């Protein structure tokens, strides 16, 4: 707790306001309640009011998650450094690769004393080996190894921790907190809905999230005459190079292979209307928030044996793990759950217990606030 009269200035830097609201807003509010003077630096598109209404100071900052124009990117870095020099924050909390890279350099130039660099997974750039990613990845790896030599580096799973250690990041400066947490009072188990089993994929519609594999699995299962619904809950993310084109999603819906609800604001309701949650991701996840929510809601999960995903699911305990891009194994796992309501209930109970034990929002907030104190605040 920060004492009255000595309020530390804590700045969050996140590229998108919607991501901040989805993944970091409760933490920022808790930091305010703990006595920090909290500001949020982000591009404002749709959630500015939600940030302001939470009692946080919003600093609009235009930037691009996927921009690669060197002149534009240098200008973004210069503006961020100037902002830090002007505002003089005591602590900066950067979230995701680009804010970590740019924010660390800007904080060093502005002599910000305390830095928390949070990598919520290594993302598209590390997961992809095609096109632009193949050329940029080596430079980003070197840059991360350099900028993360000071301050606290926050990761969400042990695989990412091992990668960073290999890049030269001091192990003593790395801390691991399992995701952004789930509100265990908001996400609670509900009885399964009546009707055909419903399998949902709750995520941004990116190829690397396994959307293509999900759709192909849905097609094969439907062709076998097995009654089930397959629903995409999310929307394309045009700022991400891996985004599924909207026209492709519309084609799948017209074919009757899947349904698409788009972006939803009430995920507890969406989970209550489902029977199975599926995320066949090979994205380079940290800890997928959608899977933590699914576990808390008592829904069985089918996901890939990939970093982050396997931190949530224990095979044949609260769900099933399949190899990435393996549609046949994905189909087999989904069919098994579709046809066995007792197995779904058993896995749902186990998932809820894991969420309570490891992924509760209060626990994540408590551990993160401790990082601010550990970093000298």
Percent of the chain residues topping a pLDDT of 70: 93
Residue 190 has pLDDT above 90, yes or no: yes
Lowest mean pLDDT among 141-145, 289-293, 330-334: 141-145
Residue 220 has pLDDT above 80, yes or no: yes
- Give span(s): CATH 3.40.50.2000, the chain: 9-181+361-374, 198-358
pLDDT band for 284, please (50, 70, 90 cuts): confident
For residue 229, with 0-12 CB atoms within 10 Å meaning exposed, 13-18 middle and 19 or more buried, which class applies? middle
Contact (Cβ atoms closer than 8 angstroms) between residue 284 and residue 122: yes
At the second CATH level, the architecture of 9-181+361-374 is 3-Layer(aba) Sandwich (3.40)
Average pLDDT of the chain, as a whole number:
92
Report pLDDT digits (tens) over 53-74. 999 999 999 988 766 788 999 9
Residue 153 has pLDDT above 70, yes or no: yes
Contacts 24+ apart (CB under 8 A), 166-174: 167/141, 167/142, 169/144, 169/145, 173/148, 173/149
Residue 375 has pLDDT above 70, yes or no: no
| Residue 195, Ramachandran bin (φ over 0: left; ψ between -120 and 50: alpha; else beta) | left
Residue 170 has pLDDT above 90, yes or no: yes
Give the Cα separation of 90 and 176 in Å (integer).
Answer: 22
Residue 4 has pLDDT above 70, yes or no: no
Residue 377 has pLDDT above 50, yes or no: no
Q: Taking the complete model, does pTM exceed 0.85, yes or no?
A: yes
Residue 137 has pLDDT above 90, yes or no: no
Residue 106 is predicted with a pLDDT of: 97
At the second CATH level, the architecture of 198-358 is 3-Layer(aba) Sandwich (3.40)
């Amino acid at each position: 707790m920060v004492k009255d009269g000595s309020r530390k200035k804590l700045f969050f830097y996140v590229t998108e306001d919607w991501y901040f609201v989805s993944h970091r807003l409760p933490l920022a509010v808790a930091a305010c309640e703990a006595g920090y003077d909290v500001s949020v630096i982000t591009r404002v598109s749709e959630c500015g009011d939600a940030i302001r209404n939470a009692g946080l100071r919003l600093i609009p900052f235009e930037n691009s998650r996927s921009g690669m124009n060197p002149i534009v990117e240098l200008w973004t870095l210069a503006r961020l450094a100037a902002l830090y020099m002007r505002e003089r924050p005591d602590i900066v909390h950067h979230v995701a690769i680009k804010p970590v890279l740019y924010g660390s350099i800007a904080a060093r130039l502005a002599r910000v004393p305390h830095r928390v660099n949070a990598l919520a997974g290594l993302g598209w750039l590390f997961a992809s080996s095609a096109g632009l990613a193949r050329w940029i990845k080596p430079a980003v790896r070197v840059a991360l190894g350099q900028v993360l030599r000071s301050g606290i580096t926050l990761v969400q799973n042990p695989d990412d921790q091992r990668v960073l250690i290999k890049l030269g990041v001091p192990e003593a400066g790395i801390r691991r907190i399992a995701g952004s947490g789930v509100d265990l009072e908001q996400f609670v188990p509900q009885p399964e809905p009546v009707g055909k089993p419903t399998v949902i994929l709750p995520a941004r519609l990116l190829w690397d999230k396994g959307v293509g594999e999900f759709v192909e699995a849905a097609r094969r299962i439907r062709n076998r005459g097995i009654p089930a619904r397959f629903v995409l809950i999310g929307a394309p993310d045009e700022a991400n190079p891996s985004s599924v084109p909207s026209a492709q999603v519309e084609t799948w819906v017209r074919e009757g292979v899947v349904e698409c609800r788009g972006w939803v604001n009430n995920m507890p309701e969406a989970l209550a209307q489902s029977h199975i949650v599926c995320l066949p991701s090979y994205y380079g996840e940290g800890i997928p928030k959608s899977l933590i929510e699914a576990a808390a809601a008592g829904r069985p999960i089918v996901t890939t044996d990939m970093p982050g995903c396997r931190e949530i699911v224990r095979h044949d305990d609260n769900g099933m793990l399949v190899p990435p891009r393996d549609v046949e194994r994905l189909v087999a796992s989904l069919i098994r759950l579709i046809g066995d309501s007792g197995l779904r209930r058993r896995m749902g109970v186990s998932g809820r217990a894991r969420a309570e034990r490891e992924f509760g929002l209060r626990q994540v907030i408590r551990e993160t606030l401790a990082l601010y104190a550990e970093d000298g605040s």
